[in-house]
Amino acid sequence: MKELLKRLLKVLLILSIGLLAACKQSVITREVDVFTESATTIALILKNTEEVLPINTTQIDLPTQTPSISAVIPTPSDHWVVKEHWTPGNQIRIILIDRDNDIWTGNPGGVVHWDIDGGKLTSYILNDEPSMPFFITSLAQTSDGAIWVGTDGKGLSRWNGEEWDIFTTEDGLPSNNILDLLVTNDGSLLVNVKEMGKYNNATLGQFSEDGWIEITFSSSIDDLLINSKDIVWRYGNGGSLTWPAEIITFYNDGQWNPIAARGTGRDRIFAVAFDNQDRLWSVIGNRFYSFDGIYWSMHTPRWVKVQDWDGVVTDMAVNKNGDIWFSFTDSFPDFPLTCNVYKAEADIGVYRYDGKDWFLYTKEDGLADNHNCAMAIGKDGTVWVGSYDQGLSYFDGEKWSYIRIK
């Protein structure tokens, strides 16, 4: 009888593992040609109404639930290699514009360097064919020109222009799960790390070849920003609408100072950005807000008024003229590191707000795709948009163009 029970338990374990594997989200890739395609920009101009709301800053509780974090772990044999014709590079989740105006993108399992002026694309992946896909969580460039890459289980990597270096807990990091990277105005690299499986055990610190210097306990799953005064901001980026109230906090004088995110209860914070006047802009729920340090102002976004609108904001950026750009997909992410698609034919795209009017751009205007996961704006004003799986779009002020990897 005992032997029979052992066999039964073994069968149930095998079935459970198989079921979990089947439930994992599959990554969509497509074989496409390398080309740039342009189209005349068609702007849909729509009016906007605004409402200014005085909201006092208040203390609120930090989230306490635990999201999914990759079980990927580093190994001594981990190494970066160049991969030709790496079509997963068309799945763009993070964009960094370096000081040479080159584009770096983070993708599931690797990094792509888009040398636009030189007409060259270089894809880097770990271990040639990674046995288990992992996420690139963050990209940053330090004052020495090095490109830093944060991962969700493989530690921290650095590209010095010639070769890669990999840093893990063996090199002083408190964890190999990197939540976000941030470079201060003096060029220091700040790293937010998290111990796997412990939601309220994240730490913000400074990292260099000299080692790790802890700055503060940072808690929760966060994205980091910095303003012109070197005050570090973070915002809760929860995985579902059932989580506790999301928060925005800033770090000053040795402590985190939470402010209520518009008092929105369980509304979720989808994206935040600073403008050149250090005003904080955020998309909370399906609304759009700005914060000047004292008051919240609510702005009615055009998408709220569109019937049957399926868009979900994935990222936002502000240019030097104060125009605010938003990228969209049409499905809530499973957790912060993902970007999903529900309806492939959904007519969403990219919105721009100039402080008065709203402009909508879609594939008909030259975008690579209507489902987009990341964006950034260069010093020359070019807007770069990373699609779900169709490559990189860019807007030069007159027209949209895009690039794909074959």
pLDDT tens per residue across span 20-41: 444 433 333 333 333 333 222 2
pTM: predicted TM-score of the whole model, two decimal places = 0.77
Could you tell me the pLDDT band of residue 152, with boundaries at 50, 70 and 90? confident
Query: What is the pLDDT at residue 163?
Result: 94
For residue range 244-276, list pLDDT tens digits in order: 345 678 888 788 777 765 444 456 777 889 998
β partners of residue 252: 255
Residue 276 half-sphere exposure toward CB, CA atoms < 13 A: 7
Pairing type for strands 232-236 and 247-252 reads antiparallel
For residue 282, how far is the Cα from the chain centroid? 14
Mind spelling out the 3-state secondary structure of 150-186?
EEECCCEEEECCCCEEEECHHHCCCCCEEEEEEECCC
Residue 47's identity, in one-letter code, is K
> Nearest 5°: phi and psi at 314?
-105, -25
Among the listed ranges 100-114, 238-252, 269-283, 337-351, which one has the minimum average pLDDT value?
238-252
Strand partners, 337: none
For residues 88 and 125, what is the distance between their CA atoms, to the nearest angstrom?
Answer: 10
- The span from the CA of 21 to the CA of 297, in Å, is 45
* Domain locations along the chain: 68-220
- Residue 283 pLDDT > 50, yes or no? yes
Q: Which fold has domain 68-220?
A: Methylamine Dehydrogenase; Chain H (2.130.10)
Cβ–Cβ under 8 Å, residues 102 and 115: yes
CA distances in angstroms from 62 to 200, 221, 253, 305, listed in the order given: 9, 11, 20, 32
Looking at residue 358, its amino acid is: W
